[in-house]
Amino acid sequence: MQSSGKPRVFSGIQPDASPHLGNYLGAIRNWVRNQDRYENIFCIVDLHAITLPQDPAKLREFTLELAGVLLATGIKEDQALFVQSHVPAHAELAWIFECFTPIGWLERMTQFKDRTARHGSERIGAGVLTYPSLMAADIMLYDAKYVPVGEDQRQHLEYTRDIAQRMNQRFGNILVLPEPLIEKAGAEIKGLDDPQKKMSKSFARDNPGHAIFMLDPPDVIRKKIARAQTDAEPAVRFPAGPGVTNLLEIYRTIKDQDWPAVEREFAGKPYSVLKSAVADAVIEVLAPIQHRYRQIRSDDAALRQQLRRAAERLTPIANATLLRVQEAVGLR
């Protein structure tokens, strides 16, 4: 990969389920919009996905599906879009970070606490605890300056900076400290079934009404939005409750509108009007993506080859950072 002089950005997404509207509005859409401003590294983080149990055949399919969806949203072919496990340096650097990270830092992570509370610590793998070290490795292998993340990943990014600072203090400046890029609109879309929870792939696997998937057909999208949780009011009022606010947030993010504009449009309208407007907007934004996706998936061999080539271009960059760290800690 040639250095373009633009700041480097690392973006990661897990192939643990189909991508949903929250992933699109909170992350992918901004990646596409901003791609020309940066030198981008888009990573399908399959090693992160196996921190929770995955069916092997599904993991393979979700990986290709996600690659297809990302390209279909408009990520350009010449950008580095690759699969994490194709570049072994990710796991190697993560191991080194784990050894320099106090366990307490990892035990304090909200995602770790949520997942152990949900599944119990006997039933989940240790990767759930050490996940942030792998994420730190992903970012720092490429000396990325920025990481576009949703609110949910902010704490992991703070850890990334902390471990970088710790290594830099001990060994001299060997790592670049990354910064979060958090977009205001659509920063966190909530679940349709429960607006207290963020829309999330892993949760959607067992709760079909929770998320709109980017590849859901129009009739499914309409049904899911029709069933989305609202509150007991007969019509849209401001300030609205959490369910209605989430629908309005989806709408205004898709339409690039500010709050006063949606307030003018929907104040006093029945929920049915709001829901059908939201469904129309979602279907309209996803239809062209779905169309391009079907074209891309008609040739999986080409798609696989593109992913392999990207990993080959990135490997020397990743290996150079790994070597720098290995030398610093005395492994080389």
Shortest Å distance, C-beta 243 to ligand ATP: 14
Output 190 or 222, the one with its CB closest to ligand ATP: 190
Cα of 261 vs its chain's centroid, Å: 28
Output 200 or 230, the one with its CB closest to ligand ATP: 200
Instruction: For residue 20, list its beta bridge partners.
Output: 213
Of 124, 192, 118, 112, nearest to 152 by C-alpha is 112
Residue 304, classed as helix, strand or coil, is helix
What is the spatial order of strands in the sheet that 179-181 belongs to?
80-83, 39-44, 8-13, 146-148, 179-181
Shortest Å distance, C-beta 204 to ligand ATP: 8
Shortest Å distance, C-beta 182 to ligand ATP: 9
Shortest Å distance, C-beta 250 to ligand ATP: 10
Angle at the Cα of 22 from the Cα atoms of 18 and 24, rounded to 5 degrees: 75
Cα of 52 vs its chain's centroid, Å: 16
Shortest Å distance, C-beta 192 to ligand ATP: 11
Shortest Å distance, C-beta 17 to ligand ATP: 7
Residue of minimal Cβ distance to ligand ATP: 26
Shortest Å distance, C-beta 205 to ligand ATP: 9
- Report the distance separating Cα 135 and Cα 181, nearest Å: 15
Which residues are near ligand ATP by CB under 6 A? 13-14, 16, 22-23, 26-27, 149-150, 152-153, 188-189, 198-203
Output 61 or 237, the one with its CB closest to ligand ATP: 61
CA distances from 277 to 51, 114, 138, 281, 309 (A): 38, 34, 39, 6, 42
- Report the distance separating Cα 100 and Cα 4, nearest Å: 33
Shortest Å distance, C-beta 310 to ligand ATP: 18
DSSP state letter for 312? H
Output 184 or 264, the one with its CB closest to ligand ATP: 184
Output 154 or 166, the one with its CB closest to ligand ATP: 154
Shortest Å distance, C-beta 33 to ligand ATP: 14
Output 26 or 96, the one with its CB closest to ligand ATP: 26
Beta carbons within 10 angstroms of residue 292's beta carbon:
16
In our burial notation (b when 16+ CB lie closer than 10 A, e otherwise), range 126-155 reads: ebbbbbbbbbbbbbbbbebbbbbbbebbeb
Output 28 or 325, the one with its CB closest to ligand ATP: 28
The pair of structure tokens assigned to 26 is 């909170």
CA distances from 164 to 172, 196, 198 (A): 11, 33, 28
Output 67 or 189, the one with its CB closest to ligand ATP: 189
Output 51 or 230, the one with its CB closest to ligand ATP: 51
Return the HEC string of 247-286: HHHHHHHHHCCCHHHHHHHHCCCEHHHHHHHHHHHHHHHH
